[in-house]
A and B are shown apart, each in its own frame.
Chain A
Amino acid sequence: MNLNGKITMAIRNFFKKYGRIILIVFVVWLIIFLINQYLKKRPKETSMINTYTPNNPIIDDGGNVPERYVGTINQTVETYFNYCNSKNYEQAYNMLTDQCKEYLYGNDVSLFQEYVDNIFTQNKIYNLQNYSNVDDIYIYDLVILDDIESTGTTEGYEPYKEKITLRKENDEFKISNQGYIESKPYNKFAEDENLKVTVKSKDISYTREGYNVTLTNKTDKYLVLVDNTLNKEITLNLGDQKRGTVNYSNASLVLNPGETRNEVFIFDKFYDDQKEPTEICIEDVRILEEYEESNEDTAGAASRMYSYTIKLK
């Protein structure tokens, strides 16, 4: 057999022996090659740095909104906002909690209408940011502004912000707006031979607590509780600090002989500060035989002066 014949025979034998292996290697290589080409041409997935996390609270002491509620809450706010934007007052009003209707609008939808008309002066847009969560109460910042994408802010740029609260009532989320959160009954009272004080309830907003009290002067003398001649005349004890009222800075509180009067003691207090009020204190009850508004030294003129405490716990 000559050389050509030998080579031909060798090639034939070679492919007979290794043909299958070569085919397998080739197929494997081809698959790898095609996968590489595909990956090379595939659009690269890119993710951006994004600080916008509307459902994560800014104050995270109370934890996040449960995942199962996020969609419903966003939908509830969107529906409420759209009702306000399209001036469907009744429908928007009906999305408020009963306490909110009563406290902010005296159960009068026309007062709610005034509020809506004051803010929704033209087509508005909004954005929502979870702010804080306490138990089953979810507090959000609601920012309402002109449709700045359409106007480019040409017609002004004055975002209006308020806190709204969402809580579940009878399987649906209800809203409290304008920072108001809830009211709680509070039947606590204190009494001595001069003064009887009953704390009936408190109205809570995100930044303040208002205690609804009834004061009775049991004497035939004047009781001066506040006249702005002393510092912090009525205080709320939060354990580690005492806070004065914010609504008597330019007013006096004097009970005439035998008088019974309803008052509200309002104090600054964040809803989510985890501080528990322990007592309200009237720091200087001054008992006077005679009282005139022009009297600037009620402490000096008092026949007796003492502090009066109403325990809240």
Chain B
Amino acid sequence: MDKRIINILLVMAVLILLAINIKIFIDNHEETAGIEQNGNGIENSMIQNNNQDDIQNTITSKVADMTERSRMQTYFGTFISYIEENDYESAYNLLNENFKKNYFSTLEQFETYIQKYPKDIAVDYKEIERQGELFVLTVEIKDVFNKEAQTITQRVVIRELGVNQFTISFQVE
């Protein structure tokens, strides 16, 4: 009887120790990885990266579940958001390469052109049509706070390369 109880206790002890050891090993491993990356001047730790990956995966899933119309509006909305946040480089990087060559060979040229847009932008989507793998949107760009300001009507061409991956070109006036 004593021997059986001792055996059961020993089995439980071994399993608990095993589980604790593994848990500690995994936690340590993740922390070490984060510290190593910080030590190399990389801003995001492994945990942060995981969170960012999770956020990115969530965004990707949400975009993938959208209809084509909603996806196109989301893509153009992303482009406009960059402009509103003065992140011109990110907006510029979304442009089609040939379009850039034709109209905005430098970021500065793009920045100069984009100044015609209002500071706080509202977008009205008037029309959307598909041309093969391209989408042509007709949009009205308005000033959120100034209804007197001139409305800019533009056609926008979007090519979807994958979920949440796209290039943009637009009617330059």
- A residues with a Cβ closer than 8 A to B are 7, 10-11, 14, 17-18, 22, 26, 33, 43-44, 46-52, 54, 125-128, 143, 145, 147-154, 157, 159
Contact = CB atoms under 8 A, between A and B. Distances in A.
19 contacts: A44-B57, A44-B61, A46-B64, A48-B64, A49-B65, A49-B66, A54-B132, A127-B134, A143-B131, A147-B98, A148-B134, A149-B96, A149-B99, A149-B134, A150-B96, A151-B169, A152-B169, A154-B103, A154-B172
A48 B61 contact: no
Interface string B126-168: 0000111110100000000000000000011101100100010
Given A148-B134, A149-B167, A14 B7 contact: yes
Given A10-B3, A44-B57, A152 B172 contact: yes
A54 B172 CA distance: 30
A11 B10 CA distance: 7
A148 B171 CA distance: 9
A151 B64 contact: no
A46 B131 CA distance: 24
A73 B68 CA distance: 27
Interface of B: 3, 6-7, 10-11, 14, 18, 22, 57, 60-61, 63-68, 71, 96, 98-99, 101-103, 130-134, 136, 155-157, 159-160, 163, 167, 169-173
Contacts of B167: 149
Contacts of B63: 48
Nearest to B158: A149
B132 A10 contact: no
B61 A46 contact: yes
Contacts of B103: 152, 154
Interface of A is mostly: mixed
A48 B71 contact: yes
Contacts of B132: 52, 54, 125-128, 143
A18 B11 CA distance: 9
A52 B99 CA distance: 24
B133 A127 contact: yes
Nearest to A37: B26
A9 B129 CA distance: 81
B18 A149 contact: no
Contacts of A143: 131-132
Nearest to A33: B22
Contact of B6 (A10, A46, A148, A154): A10
A52 B135 CA distance: 11
Nearest to A46: B64
Contacts of B102: 150-151
Nearest to A153: B155
A127 B131 contact: yes
Contacts of A17: 7
Among the interface residues B61, B131, B134, which one has the most CB atoms of the partner chain A within 10 A? B131
A22 B18 CA distance: 10
A154 B155 CA distance: 8
A282 to B, nearest CB: 45
A127 B135 CA distance: 12
Among the interface residues A7, A51, A150, which one has the most CB atoms of the partner chain B within 10 A? A150
Nearest to B172: A154
A22 B65 CA distance: 46
Given A10-B3, A44-B60, A152 B156 contact: yes
Given A127-B132, A145-B131, A151-B99, A46 B163 contact: yes
A153 B99 CA distance: 10
Given A14-B11, A152-B170, A153-B169, 17 more contacts: A14-B6, A44-B57, A48-B63, A48-B71, A49-B66, A49-B68, A50-B68, A51-B68, A126-B132, A127-B133, A128-B132, A148-B157, A150-B169, A152-B169, A153-B171, A154-B172, A159-B131
A14 B103 CA distance: 79
A43 B10 CA distance: 41
Contacts of B67: 49
A249 to B, nearest CB: 33
A222 to B, nearest CB: 54
A-B complex: 9 closest residue pairs judged by Cβ atoms: A127-B132, A152-B169, A150-B98, A46-B64, A153-B155, A152-B170, A154-B172, A10-B6, A153-B171
